[in-house]
């Protein structure tokens, strides 16, 4: 029999309640759904045995209580409106609201109710639909996570969105994502938020749990019930009387790429086990997204950076040059280009081998980066050719000072695999807007100036500064 038919049945029996009270009570108490009878004052005057399973209170504890006091505050207004409609003679079916159980948990109820005019009572049948509502909520959350994985432009945006989604399902007090560095195999914390402390700083427990999950590759549930399974050093970091910790590995095709750790409120063993299963499902999607984003990052890096030196390549350099041009044109500012070429580099390759030549290029790249500001760009655009973009300079002499600094740095001996070399470099300088108004003009001017500088003795850099390439 459907739940909405029970109020009619109960009402039919109500008139004989005094005569057949024991029979009726026995029948009602067999129902899996709960029967509740409320008087005009809004207080329970009868509840069936199923109420204790659903609401957590015994029938004796519920009799005399105001029904509305048990309703979740957010649902009271519409529940009162529905109760008034029932009292006016309008039967209600499939009405849903939420109650607060005796243990503080929230239970979702679907009601079927009608008014007994003869008895001046509101008779309702309550069906616990909490599991169904939770399943629906989780399914919707999983769809949301799938959409977030597809739509996120970067990992930080994805982690923030997943944190929000999980927070709607679980009592999340802190949320952490630790990733394995592909080069060092060390853990780095890509995302962390602590709701209690309002801080992004990692705590020892989160770092330890993340490392343990990554080490074992297995999910972890740290609660009062499971505490004995963990070493004393870990137990000392957490107060399991109030909190529980859940951690799951982020498993991708190439192995464990990190860990997701959640700090939540203490719950039953069943609840935390279900929460852990949910996190495991989520983690598979997160791991796939991380792997894809990391692959995209690697491909983007390969497209924009020189694989030997790690410097920006020609493509990325031209993009930054266009940005500098846009800024300078809009702000009436100036910047400089330095075009560099290693002298006698072919001789190094021919006499010492390409391996030494590669080491030389790598060392030159490092010294160039150390000679300029972090905001400047050093790029490798050819075999032994480099360019330096000096943004937002105040005077033309600033570019010449940097050129001299670079020359002094590269003139220092380089020890490469037991070989000691003295690098020689030719540098050409071009200024915006003096030497060109677009990228082609500036690069051509700097390139021409660099080739002319090859005819000048390296010692010229020790003389008073003079613009190479100008009359």
Please identify which residue in the block is written with the tokens 């807007």.
433
CA distance 387 to 427: 9
Query: Which residues does 387 contact at the CB level (< 8 Å), separation at least 6?
Result: 317, 337, 338, 339, 340, 378, 379, 381, 443, 446
Please identify which residue in the block is written with the tokens 């997204």.
289
Query: Which residues does 396 contact at the CB level (< 8 Å), separation at least 6?
Result: 334, 336, 431, 434, 467
Using CB atoms within 10 Å of the CB of residue 60, give its burial: 0 to 12 exposed, 13 to 18 middle, 19+ buried. Answer: exposed
Task: Choose, from 33, 128, 306, 384, the residue flagged as catalytic.
Answer: 384
Cα–chain-centroid distance for residue 361?
38
Query: Which residues does 55 contact at the CB level (< 8 Å), separation at least 6?
Result: 34, 62, 70, 99, 101, 102, 107
CA distance 290 to 294: 6
Using CB atoms within 10 Å of the CB of residue 241, give its burial: 0 to 12 exposed, 13 to 18 middle, 19+ buried. Answer: exposed
Terminal-residue alpha carbon distance, the chain: 102
Give the pairing type, strands 187-194 and 220-222. Answer: unpaired
Q: Provide the edge-to-edge strand list for the sheet that holds 335-343.
A: 377-380, 385-390, 335-343, 424-432
Indicate if 384 belongs to the active site: yes
Catalytic residues: 384
């Amino acid at each position: 029999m459907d739940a909405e038919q029970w109020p009619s049945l109960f009402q039919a029996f109500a008139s004989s309640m005094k005569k057949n009270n024991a029979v009726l009570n026995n029948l009602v108490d067999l129902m899996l759904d709960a029967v509740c009878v409320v008087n005009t004052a809004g207080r329970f005057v009868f509840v069936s045995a199923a109420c204790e399973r659903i609401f957590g209170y015994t029938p004796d504890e519920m009799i005399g209580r105001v029904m509305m006091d048990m309703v979740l505050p957010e649902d009271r207004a519409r529940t009162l409106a529905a109760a008034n409609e029932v009292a006016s003679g309008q039967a209600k079916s499939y009405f849903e609201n939420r109650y607060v159980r005796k243990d503080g948990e929230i239970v979702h109820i679907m009601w079927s109710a009608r008014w007994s005019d003869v008895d001046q009572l509101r008779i309702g049948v309550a069906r616990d639909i909490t599991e169904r509502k939770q399943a629906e909520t989780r399914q919707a959350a999983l769809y949301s996570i799938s959409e977030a994985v597809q739509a996120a432009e970067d990992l930080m945006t994805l982690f923030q969105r997943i944190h929000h989604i999980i927070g709607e399902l679980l009592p999340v007090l802190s949320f952490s994502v630790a990733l394995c560095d592909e080069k060092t195999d060390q853990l780095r914390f890509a995302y962390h938020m602590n709701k209690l402390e309002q801080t992004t700083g990692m705590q020892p427990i989160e770092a330890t749990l993340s490392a343990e999950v990554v080490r074992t590759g297995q999910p972890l549930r740290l609660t009062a019930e499971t505490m004995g399974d963990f070493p004393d050093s870990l137990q000392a970091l957490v107060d399991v009387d109030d909190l529980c910790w859940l951690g799951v590995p982020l498993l991708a095709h190439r192995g464990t790429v990190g860990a997701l750790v959640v700090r939540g409120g203490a719950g039953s063993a069943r609840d935390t086990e279900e929460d852990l299963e949910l996190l495991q499902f989520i983690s598979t999607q997160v791991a796939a997204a991380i792997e894809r984003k990391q692959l995209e990052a690697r491909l983007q890096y390969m497209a924009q950076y020189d694989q030997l030196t790690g410097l920006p390549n020609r493509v990325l350099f031209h993009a930054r040059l266009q940005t500098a041009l846009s800024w300078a044109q809009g702000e009436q500012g100036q910047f400089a280009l330095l075009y560099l070429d290693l002298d006698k580099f072919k001789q190094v390759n021919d006499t010492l081998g390409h391996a030494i030549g590669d080491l030389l290029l790598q060392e030159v790249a490092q010294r160039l980066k150390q000679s300029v500001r972090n905001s400047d760009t050093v790029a490798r655009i050819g075999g032994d050719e480099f360019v330096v973009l000096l943004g937002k300079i105040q005077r033309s002499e600033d570019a010449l000072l940097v050129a001299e600094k670079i020359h002094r740095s590269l003139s220092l001996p380089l020890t490469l695999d037991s070989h000691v070399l003295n690098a020689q470099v030719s540098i050409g300088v071009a200024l915006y807007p003096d030497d060109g108004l677009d990228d082609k003009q500036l690069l051509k001017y700097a390139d021409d100036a660099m080739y002319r500088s090859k005819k000048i003795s390296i010692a010229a850099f020790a003389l008073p500064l003079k613009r190479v390439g100008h009359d």
